[in-house]
Structure 1
Amino acid sequence: MNKLLAMEIFVQVVDAGGFTRAADHLQMPKATVSTMVQMLEKTLEVKLLHRTTRQVSVTTDGAAYYERCLRILADVREAEESLSRNRANPGGRLRVDVATAIANDIIIPALPDFFARYPGIALELGCGDRPVDLIEEGVDCAIRGGALPESSLIARRIGVVHFVTCATPAYLDLHGRPGHPSELASHRCVNYFSSKTGKIHDWDFTRGGEKVTIAVPASLALNDTTAYVSAGLAGIGIMQMAGFSMDAHLASGRLELLLEDWVSAPLPVHVVYPHNRHLSAKVRVFVEWVADLFMTHPGFQTKAPVRRPILVKA
């Protein structure tokens, strides 16, 4: 029995919570995965997993062995990478999850540079606003906006997202231009709700010492950023969206900046990855590359970029 392979399989079974998902992640037959774990238990003379028809859970001995396996496998990877010629040219499949707007506006346009640097990496880019479980779904790393929940993931802050409030000139010509956040109550707005919780996000504003939080009235609520922008461009109502996605539309005049002297609270952006993958060369180079990309992008700096509103003739 290949002991290191058996350890890797055991770790994947624990991370995935079952043999089927682990087999999918490893691209191995389920029977092989099950047999390797059984052989490992026989060699160690200890039960590592509780098995039922519905789920697999780790035993007390299995939990302790799991932690040891993580350290051993990490040490092996570090030793291999420190001696391997592939350290500077990592390769293999890399699964990354990112919000649609960030994928479309930031990541994808910059990918030619990434592939020029690391031609051996085959990138699988999951795009969507639904937060994924990195361990369960076999994702190597993800880019996430907002406060991070308590978890075992390693997180690296790479920037902040600033928001703007805007609408089409046609909508504003018909319904008027709000001069204070409280005036949004008399407007149609486009709301955004969480794919995970279903909660509709309030709009917040700060000017000097004045802070305003509003649950704006909305004719439409969406949970996808691409659809959200499309709704605003269609003239359905006023929207509040990440500035980096709106800059081109504001510059072209398709959208008009509103309440420009009010600031909405920025959201931190992190790249996150599971602790047991932190030594992977392909994950390491992607994290470094995306951190540099965000830190040099004007839309993600600590200070919000200056956006000049389009002047509207009376």
Structure 2
Amino acid sequence: MENLNALRVFVRVAETRSFTLAAKRLGLTSSAVSKAITRLEQELGVRLLQRTTRSVGLTNDGASFFEHCLQILAQIEDAENLLGQATSRPHGRLRVHLPVGFGRRVIMPMMPRFLYQHPEIVLDAELSDRSVDLAYEGIDIAVQIGEPADARLIARRLCHLRFMACASAEYLAQHGEPRTPDDLDKHHCLAYVQMHTGRYRDWPFSQNGKARPKAVSGRLNVNNAESLLEAAAAGLGIAMISNFIAADAIRGGRLRPVLTDYVGEGPPVSVVYLPSRNLSPKVRAFANFLIEEISGNPDWDKITP
């Protein structure tokens, strides 16, 4: 094989399933990426990719080769990190995945401080609520809500979320305030709809340490927490909202918490990354930064239900 660049090009194409996206990430032209893959396939004597006019996929040989390439490139990065670990400052491109709401409300406002502290890092952040495979997609580090499903990942706890039922003062003046979760049957509830299943997310109440989930739905159901907040603030009903999203609206008087005796601890939030004998300085720096900034008693968790 001529050089390792061909492996890096192949890995980017396999991760993105696109010559165009791979070219953008590598700073190359699509033509150069296509030629590099063709040369690699000719050198190996096997077809690695299935190409159609709409997509690019891995062949069976390509999938096997991709897994080996990931291991090879990871070992090379480990070796580079080991050599320079004592004196190396965090540097290079850092690919991060963040959940939309938590990423936009909590993490992105912190990024100017992180980048100021680490001027040699270039950060590529994707905000989405999809499930990601860090190894397959080449993502360095991610923030996840809930227990990590991938047992391979190193997970470092940042905090726990709490969910609060909230409504505007105008709505409560008109319709009254519910005293128990069962009272919600008489109210307009604004549910979070899970579009891939069509189901509404249960509201996670708790009493005396025991979970008491409540099924709700109403005339307006949305798959976005920010939109639920705005609908509740506009007086359309009661919404169940994460504390980090609701905090500013509660402080500003746009929303009032209700059913506060039934608030329980929500899912954990963790920063996760793949295990490595010699963790990349940029990954370690980002994880340590988030832990220092968020762990303990974050500002948005000081709202008393």
Structure 1 length-normalised TM = 0.79
User: Which residue number in structure 2 is paired with residue 190 of structure 1?
Assistant: 190
Quickly say closer, same or farther: Cα 1:291–1:15, change in 2 above 3 A: same
Deviation per CA, 1:198-239, whole angstroms, max 9, x where unpaired?
Answer: 432111322126543222232311222222211121121111
Deviation at 1:188, TM superposition (A): 0.9
Of 31-40 and 175-184, the range deviating more from structure 2: 31-40
The separation in 1 between residues aligned to 2:282 and 2:304, in whole angstroms, is 40
- The one-letter code of the counterpart of 1:58 is T
CA contact (8 A) 1:165 1:241 kept: yes
User: Which residue number in structure 1 is paired with residue 66 of structure 2?
Assistant: 66
Of 98-107 and 183-192, the range deviating more from structure 2: 98-107
The separation in 2 between residues aligned to 1:88 and 1:112, in whole angstroms, is 22
User: Which residue number in structure 1 is paired with residue 48 of structure 2?
Assistant: 49
The separation in 2 between residues aligned to 1:210 and 1:63, in whole angstroms, is 46
Aligned residues: 301
Quickly say closer, same or farther: Cα 1:34–1:269, change in 2 above 3 A: same
CA contact (8 A) 2:200 2:216 kept: no
Deviation at 1:189, TM superposition (A): 1.5
Matches within 5 A, 1:253-268: 253-264=253-264, 266-268=266-268
Deviation at 1:190, TM superposition (A): 1.5
- The one-letter code of the counterpart of 1:57 is L
CA contact (8 A) 2:160 2:265 kept: no
CA contact (8 A) 1:190 1:239 kept: yes
Deviation per CA, 1:40-74, whole angstroms, max 9, x where unpaired?
Answer: 33434x315153425432334x4443333222212
Percent identity reads: 33
Deviation at 1:147, TM superposition (A): 4.5
User: Which residue number in structure 1 is paired with residue 176 of structure 2?
Assistant: 176
Of 181-190 and 85-94, the range deviating more from structure 2: 85-94
CA contact (8 A) 1:98 1:143 kept: yes
User: Which residue number in structure 1 is paired with residue 16 of structure 2?
Assistant: 16
- SS of the residue aligned with 2:194? coil
- SS of the residue aligned with 2:108? helix
- SS of the residue aligned with 2:220? strand
The separation in 1 between residues aligned to 2:9 and 2:289, in whole angstroms, is 30
The separation in 2 between residues aligned to 1:195 and 1:160, in whole angstroms, is 25
- The one-letter code of the counterpart of 1:49 is L
Deviation per CA, 1:75-123, whole angstroms, max 9, x where unpaired?
Answer: 2212223334896433344343323432343223323321221122233
Deviation per CA, 1:113-145, whole angstroms, max 9, x where unpaired?
Answer: 2122112223344445x4265678775443232
The separation in 1 between residues aligned to 2:274 and 2:12, in whole angstroms, is 12
- SS of the residue aligned with 1:143? strand
- The one-letter code of the counterpart of 2:57 is V
Quickly say closer, same or farther: Cα 1:207–1:306, change in 2 above 3 A: farther
Gaps of 5+ in 1: 310-314
User: Which residue number in structure 2 is paired with residue 131 of structure 1?
Assistant: 130
Structure 2 length-normalised TM = 0.81
Deviation at 1:5, TM superposition (A): 0.7
Of 279-288 and 170-179, the range deviating more from structure 2: 279-288
Quickly say closer, same or farther: Cα 1:265–1:185, change in 2 above 3 A: farther
The separation in 1 between residues aligned to 2:30 and 2:280, in whole angstroms, is 25
Gaps of 5+ in 2: none
User: Which residue number in structure 1 is paired with residue 224 of structure 2?
Assistant: 224
